[in-house]
Amino acid sequence: MIEFHSWARNTQQRMEQVLDTLLPATDIAPHRLHEAMRYAVLGGGKRVRALLAHAAGELCEANPAKVDMAAAAVELIHAYSLVHDDMPCMDDDDLRRGKPSCHKQYDDATALLVGDALQTLAFQSLATPGLCTDPGRQLEMVNLLAIASGSRGMAGGQAIDLASVGKSLEQSELEYMHIHKTGALIRAAALLGAHCAPELDQERLHAIDHYAQAIGLAFQVVDDILDAEADSETLGKTAGKDAESDKPTYVTILGIDHAKQLAQELLDDALAPLAPYGELANQLKQVAYFITQRSF
């Protein structure tokens, strides 16, 4: 575990540098937009998606320097989604990563443009010519990220989430929503990390895909548990927000004990396909523990 914490800290620091380089400097016009983009991305977050990309890259023996850009693209998509989700017309959340959310720190119009420009920057980064020795595979990666982020992935999940407010959902409907809203991008993070390997091994890709789908759901179950149990200071965002706004969560549907049991089952399900890979799968296993045992 000490080894994992050191690896995770190094990877987080490394990502901070990669993102710092990718984001336009504040002395480039338009200054305020670039300042707000940096505010929304830098200096916060656990970079779970970047850790997943790097851990999957390790299982596939990819060069970490190649994984950096794929991981950064996923983090930029994630950051854009948080900025837009926090806006008054969506979740209307004033707090994010322990700081005022982007539209509170700046204004609604700036936050809208920040999200838009961060999404664009994600695709620009992933499409940087020469990033991958095989441009055909790099195009597939751009396509994969787009499918995961769009109306049949993350943005679609957000639309289903909006439509669910005040409704009573079955567990299967909640799962369907989360597979899109958070699961699709988490899955893309792991698959993109794997795609950075010199050779694509289909068996490893399938193992990572299975792992990522299970851990993506586990992530959301744990988020709902944390949201129900933690206070805002620990969480870095407004606690109890979902239950308060009458959104269905795993805790409201299953109760806290069954939700914790489900998180454990999903963790076991995620780890199973990694068994054949021994030490190569170490970081993926540890990321899974990190995600599911954040507080219990």
Which residues contact its own copies by CB under 8 A? 24, 28-30, 32-34, 37, 80, 84, 87, 89-90, 107-110, 112-113, 115-117, 119-121, 123-124, 127-129, 135-136, 138-140, 142-143, 146-147, 149-152, 155-156, 158-160, 162-163
Q: Which is nearer to its own copies, 33 or 267 (CB)?
A: 33
Q: Identify which of 160, 219, 140, 149 has the alpha carbon closest to the alpha carbon of residue 184.
A: 149
Q: Which is nearer to its own copies, 143 or 232 (CB)?
A: 143
Q: C-beta of 14: minimal distance to its own copies in Å? A: 23
Q: Which is nearer to its own copies, 124 or 232 (CB)?
A: 124
| CA quadruple 92, 98, 104, 110: dihedral sign | negative
Q: C-beta of 39: minimal distance to its own copies in Å? A: 13
Q: C-beta of 180: minimal distance to its own copies in Å? A: 8
Cβ within 8 Å of residue 61, ≥6 positions away: 197, 198, 280
The separation between CA 251 and the C-alpha centre of its own chain, rounded to angstroms, equals 21
Q: Which is nearer to its own copies, 129 or 166 (CB)?
A: 129
Q: C-beta of 159: minimal distance to its own copies in Å? A: 4
User: What per-residue string of b and e applies to 56-73 under the rule 16 or more CB within 10 Å gives b?
Assistant: bbbbbebebebbbbbbbb
Q: Identify which of 225, 164, 211, 191 has the alpha carbon closest to the alpha carbon of residue 62.
A: 191
Q: Which is nearer to its own copies, 160 or 226 (CB)?
A: 160
* Separation CA 23–CA 139 (nearest Å): 22
Residue 76 and residue 121 in contact, taking contact as beta carbons nearer than 8 Å: yes
Q: Which is nearer to its own copies, 136 or 278 (CB)?
A: 136
Q: Write out the H or E segment, with its range, that includes residue 95.
A: strand 95-96
Q: C-beta of 121: minimal distance to its own copies in Å? A: 6
Q: C-beta of 286: minimal distance to its own copies in Å? A: 31
Task: Please report, for residues 30, 86, 104, 107, 166, the alpha-carbon distance to residue 112 in angstroms, rounded to integers and kept in the order given.
Answer: 15, 10, 12, 9, 26
Q: Which is nearer to its own copies, 127 or 230 (CB)?
A: 127
Q: C-beta of 184: minimal distance to its own copies in Å? A: 11
Q: Exposed (0-12), middle (13-18) or buried (19+): which is 155, by Cβ within 10 Å? A: middle
Q: Give the SS3 label for residue 230.
A: coil
